[in-house]
């Protein structure tokens, strides 16, 4: 019986020193009360502070991550609870 060869040796060796993993962070916005999650790349080294924004009110948050957080990595879980519909920055 022939077993298919799996080409994982090289890539595993390359990332073994500083593996990248995906982390999921659930947050409740302190400004509007919306719940959302953000998925970001995290390494044991080379993380820097990356910003992401509440999808409802644009409140700014940050997390230590290995790569910039793209817009579609932020996913709304439940709507805002403050009864307003304005963005944070347009109120100031
Ligand atoms: Zn918010």
Residue range 4-53, pLDDT digits in tens: 665 555 555 555 677 889 999 999 999 999 999 999 999 988 899 999 99
Angstrom CA distances, 7 to 12, 21, 69, stand at 10, 20, 29
Total domains, the chain:
1
Q: 79 C-alpha to center of ligand 1: Å?
A: 9
In a domain, 2, yes or no: no
Q: 25 C-alpha to center of ligand 1: Å?
A: 15
Exposure string over 37-51, b if 16+ CB within 10 A, otherwise e: ebebbbbeeeeeebe
Is the pLDDT confidence value at 82 over 80? Answer: yes
> CA–CA separation, 16 vs 3, rounded Å?
25
Q: 38 C-alpha to center of ligand 1: Å?
A: 13
Quick check: helix, strand or coil at residue 20? strand
Q: Model pTM?
A: 0.73
In a domain, 68, yes or no: yes
Q: 80 C-alpha to center of ligand 1: Å?
A: 7
Nearest of 61, 77, 59 to residue 69 by alpha carbon: 61
The domain in which residue 73 lies consists of 19-90
């Amino acid at each position: 019986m022939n077993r298919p060869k799996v080409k994982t040796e090289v890539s595993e060796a390359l990332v073994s020193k500083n593996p990248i993993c995906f982390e999921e962070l659930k947050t409740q916005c302190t400004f509007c009360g919306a719940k959302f999650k953000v998925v970001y790349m995290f390494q044991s080294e080379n993380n820097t502070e990356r910003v992401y924004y509440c999808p409802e009110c644009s409140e700014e948050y940050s997390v230590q991550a290995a790569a910039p957080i793209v817009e579609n990595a932020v996913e709304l879980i439940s709507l805002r609870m403050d009864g307003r519909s304005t963005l944070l920055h347009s109120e100031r």
